[in-house]
Amino acid sequence: MRNLASLLFAGGLAFLLLTLLSQLAFGTPPMRVGSEILAVAPGEVGAANLVTAILLGYRGFDTLGELAILFAAATAAGVVLGRRRDDARRDPPGGEVLRTGADLLFPLLVVVGFYVIAHGHLTPGGGFQGGVILAAAFFVALLAQPARHLSHGLILWIEGLAGAAFILIGIWALVASGDFLAPLLGPGRMGELLSAGTLPLLSLAIGLKVGAELAGIMAHIADAEAPDT
């Protein structure tokens, strides 16, 4: 019965894909939006890194969708993993080398993370990449000393406020210019740290949200009860 259902599902999917393939010739209609954006973006958004201009300016709504997906994944992971027993064993500390290494790496990773976030509109990088680096910084510290506790309440607050800030900036743009998440405050001078309007703010919101979410997921998985060996 289940095999039949899977066969039907796979057949239906293949049918839909084949229909699409037979109706649309490969590569048509030609996508001209790329060259259009390349021509318009430097004057309109003012971000030296065009990728960020597209991610946060022209495709900001897609980015909001990605944030929503990540949020759903983090929530699902939290629900599935549940809470640890209070009397469960913890892992032993990671030892001298790992602890000293983690203490040494932590400030460097935090600085690099914020640098990547803050310069997202100038150099390759941005909110997602910087957020993952921030999460890694906190996770390395947690690996070295599993007994150290990452405050889940604080993580929830950072995550919620950053997500709300992203949407509020979008609504602000909706009120001010009529388009959701349109860059505001003018493009500024390209190449300066404070340029490209609201893009750095959006970048910061994404970075904090992604960092808090991923650190939360990893702390949650790592916080599991140590195996009883």
Return residues touching other proteins (CB under 8 A).
49, 51-52, 116, 124-126, 128-129, 132-133, 135-136, 139, 214, 217-218, 221-222, 224, 227, 229
Please state the closest distance from residue 211 (CB atom) to other proteins, in A: 11
Contact 91, 146 (CB under 8 A): yes
Q: Which is nearer to other proteins, 56 or 173 (CB)?
A: 56
Q: Which is nearer to other proteins, 95 or 186 (CB)?
A: 95
The beta-strand segments (E) located in 33-177 are none
Q: Which residue has the tokens 């997602």?
A: 128
Q: Which is nearer to other proteins, 13 or 88 (CB)?
A: 88
Please state the closest distance from residue 220 (CB atom) to other proteins, in A: 9
Tokens of 214: 């991923």
Q: Which residue has the tokens 């959006």?
A: 202
Q: Which is nearer to other proteins, 55 or 169 (CB)?
A: 55
Please state the closest distance from residue 4 (CB atom) to other proteins, in A: 29
Of 202, 195, 206, 50, the closest CA to residue 124 belongs to 50
Please state the closest distance from residue 95 (CB atom) to other proteins, in A: 10
C-alpha triplet 207, 211, 214: angle, nearest 5°: 140
Of 212, 225, 214, 211, the closest CA to residue 81 belongs to 225
Please state the closest distance from residue 135 (CB atom) to other proteins, in A: 8
Q: Which is nearer to other proteins, 173 or 206 (CB)?
A: 206
Of 198, 178, 168, 175, the closest CA to residue 186 belongs to 198
Contact 158, 208 (CB under 8 A): yes
Contact 131, 210 (CB under 8 A): yes
Please state the closest distance from residue 105 (CB atom) to other proteins, in A: 13
Q: Which is nearer to other proteins, 67 or 135 (CB)?
A: 135
Q: Which residue has the tokens 């949200």?
A: 209
